[in-house]
Every structure is written in C-alpha cells, then in structure tokens.
Structure 1
C-alpha cells in the first residue's frame, strides 16, 4: 500500500507516549500513517496538546473539553474556543459530547458545554469531534436542534453506537470514524452499522492509547495500529485496504479543511 492513512483521533500528549515519542511517530510512518490528530480533552492541559502538534508538520490538534471534564471545565459559551481556534495547528473543536455511561460530570453541564462547542464550530467553520456513549438520543437531538439554527460539520468519533445514530448523523452531513472496536468479535452490531455507511463518509482512528485493535488487544494502542482497523474496515466494506486508505484520507481532508495536505507524509519510498 502506498496511500497514506490518517489517524484522525489520538492522544499523543498522554504519558504513555512521552518516553518514546520519536519511536511512536516512526512506527506510525512505517505502518503507512501519514498524518495524526492529537485531540484536546481539557483546556487546562491544552498546552501539552499544542506542544505535541508543534513537533512535526504532519501532526495537528484540536481544542475542547471532554464530557467527563464538563463538571470542572465545562463551557457556558464558545468564546474561549473561538479565540483559541485561530491557531494554525488547531483544525477541529472537541472532543465534546455526552457520556451517560460513566456520568463523571452532571448531565446538564455536559449538555451545556456540548452546545457551546457546537456554537464555536458554527462560528469558526471547524468540524466538531463528538464523543457519545449511552446517550444516542440526547446526542442526536442536540446536534439536530443546533444544526437547524445554522449548519456545522463534524464526526462521530470512535463509533460504537446504534445504526440509528449513524443514519441520523449522516443526514446532517456528519462523518463516522471507526476505531479498533470494529475489530472486536463482540462488535457485530457496530460492524453491521458501519457496513451501511457510505465509503465517502468514513474515517479511521485509534483513540490511542485506548482500544487497541485485534491483534494488539491488551497492549497500549498507538497510531501505527490504525492499519489494523483499516484492514478490518476494508473487509467489512468489501474493498481493498488501499481503497480504504484513499477514501478515508480524502474524507479527512474534506472534513478537516484547515489541515494542509502537503504535510501528509509520502509513503511510496517506504512501500518499495
């Protein structure tokens, strides 16, 4: 394969990568990964995220407050995000959304912060990275209500929800991002939902250091492992791995329009 993949969602500022960051990046390239996006989860630690993105042209980042952090750092308005989004390395807003599985933050605070992130996306034109767990109806109700006020773009990251959510998200122009979850034997319903998503609306990601795909289960995840997810997605969609790489990378740049494609690493030499 000589078409570069993009790991559209990872957390390179996490301590799991601090001791061997150069090795992590090198292994990603050797696995065919030409770009990575390190995702913000707290404003209080964003400078670490930004510092990681500054280490290489092919690493970008996003800024946002994860729903787990909405109780302490949740936003009531989009102003801070709008101001920060002028940074050239910031190509998206989030991750934000709703997590009713853990309920680490009050649900009202999660919903308020989610709407503030959406407002920032509408104002800046940057896409929204959505985290949703056990909150399909509320997540889509908010996205649809806000979309009716004015359009914005985004992606359902680490898709692990129902076919209903996927189809509702597609109707407002969102993308669906597949993580290592689609490689799990227990993920038959998720695989079936992904099978019905058009190829032109799919992305791939690791969510590293979490959710390592088969055959790397039990190990800390890293961007190089997105190749395993791409291979499983190719199987699900009945196309070649190169088709998946080409489509998901094209889709990434269609959604994340601020990312500069000239920084996508070329892999032809590595593929020889």
Structure 2
C-alpha cells in the first residue's frame, strides 16, 4: 500500500467528489495521504480533513508564493495548530520559489527559517518547496545543518540535479518524486532516481498538480500515484510491491505514523 506524501486535498477542484477521490485512491493501493496547507484557511481545512478521514494526515505552513498575503497572526496560527493538533505530523509547505516573483526572496528566506525552527523544536519533519532556487535552499539548509545537525524533512516534488539531491540526503532529508519523473523530457531527473538511497526515497502526487504522463491534462489525484510508482520501480529495478513497502515504511517512520 502506497503513501502519497504530498497533496492539496483542500483545493476547490476536490470539493465536488472528495469521498470518491479517496475511494479511488484506496482501490489503487494508496492507503495513506498527507494533505498540506499553504495559508491560514487551507491549514485549517487540512486539519479538518485529517480529522474526518482516517487515511489523511495534515501538515501546516505558509507557502512562499502566498506570503505576500500573510496577515498578522497567521504564523502564530500555524504554531498553534502544529503544537496542539495530533493529526498534524509535518511542517510546511515552506521553502523558496524564484519562478514566481510575488514574494521578495528575503521574506521567503525569513519564513523558511521560521518553519525550520518550528519543525526542529517540535521534532516534526519539514516539507520543502524549491523552484529555481536550488543554490539558495541548499545554502540555508547547510546553515541549519551546521548549527543543529541532521534535518528531518522532505525535498518535495524533487526536480533538481544529483549534486543537489546528494547535498540534501547527506543532511538527513528525504527525496520525494512526483509525476514530473514520468514526463518525456525528464531524462535528467530520471537519472537521479537510482542514486537516492532507498531509505530516503518517497513518492507523492502534489494533487491536484503535476499529473503523471498517462493522465497529463487531467486533475491529478492520489490514485494516480501508481503511474509515478511504476516509473520509479522500473528505474530502481524493483517491483511496485517492493517500492510500496519501502517508501511507505520510510514515510511512516518520518511522520511517526
């Protein structure tokens, strides 16, 4: 049974049929799902979904692309949820994004550090977004590692090169692959997959985004994780059953589930 370690089930595209989406996931062999908030409202919705559906857990944070809309008290609300809600098993999604220009990079870096500090204090993993900011993310993570030691967390929807991946797993992080690894032009990303230590490997959909190639153009959902899993299993020389066993064990250990 697979663990989808990154979804946004609060998205309005899931409102009409979320129970059916979760049924399809279960039928496809995806038995555990992490739903990550990106702002104050979605953090609360993620927690509510985790309380309602036993196969769903929550992560709370402020996504770098939404920081320009942060209001007073939003970060304090993240802290309260992370401290008090037992279904919150991770901090994030956080990180840096240089593709979109809505939030100045210094602001993104400040909040990234807030998330790292909170995750370390609570002993929960941090989920990291990195888009066109590999050098900056690795630099901040290296500072964190040098001060405090290994970092529990996930490089989500990894799209970087082998050197970036190695830097991350050597600092204690897990590497999570999404549907991008199935895209025809993703040969360089597929070359990274066999290099990642098996104990640091995770799978995700990033639903409703990044649908795998066989369902490209459709709303992504947790059931489609199997397409990514088939690609990863082939690259690793594993069966899908073996990959499911390893990656689910990795996720459960990381999240304490």
TM-score (norm 2): 0.95
Q: Structure 1 runs of 4+ off > 3 angstroms?
A: 74-82
The runs of 5 or more residues in structure 1 that have no matched partner are: 260-272
The separation in 1 between residues aligned to 2:175 and 2:129, in whole angstroms, is 11
Change (3 A) 1:75 1:120: farther
1:28 paired residue among 21, 25, 39: 25
Q: CA offset at residue 85 of structure 1?
A: 1.1
Taking the TM superposition and a 5 Å limit, the aligned residue runs for 1:168-179 are: 168-179=167-178
Q: In structure 2, what is the equivalent of residue 158 of structure 1?
A: 157
Corresponding residue for residue 57 of structure 1: 54
Q: Shift in Å at residue 104 of structure 1? A: 2.1
Q: Which is bigger in relative contact order (C-alpha 8 A, separation at least 6)? A: 1
Alignment of 1:1-272 (within 5 A): 4-73=1-70, 80-86=77-83, 87-151=85-149, 152-257=151-256, 259=257
Deviations 1:76-114 (A, max 9, x none): 997554332131110000000000011221111100000
SS at 1:62 equivalent: strand
Report the number of matched residues. Answer: 255
Higher helix share: 2
Query: What residue is the counterpart of 1:265 in the other structure?
Result: none
Rounded to whole Å, the distance in 1 between the matches of 2:124 and 2:79 is 10
Assess, with a 3 A threshold, how the Cα gap between structure 1 residues 66 and 240 changes in structure 2: closer, same or farther.
same
> Quick check: 1:81–1:117 contact (8 Å CA) kept in 2?
no
How far residue 254 of structure 1 moved from its aligned partner, in angstroms, is 1.7
The CA distance in 1 between the partners of 2:78 and 2:44, in whole Å, is 14
**C-alpha RMSD of the superposition:** 1.7
Q: Deviations over 1:41-82 (max 9, x none)?
A: 112432222222122111001000111012222899975543
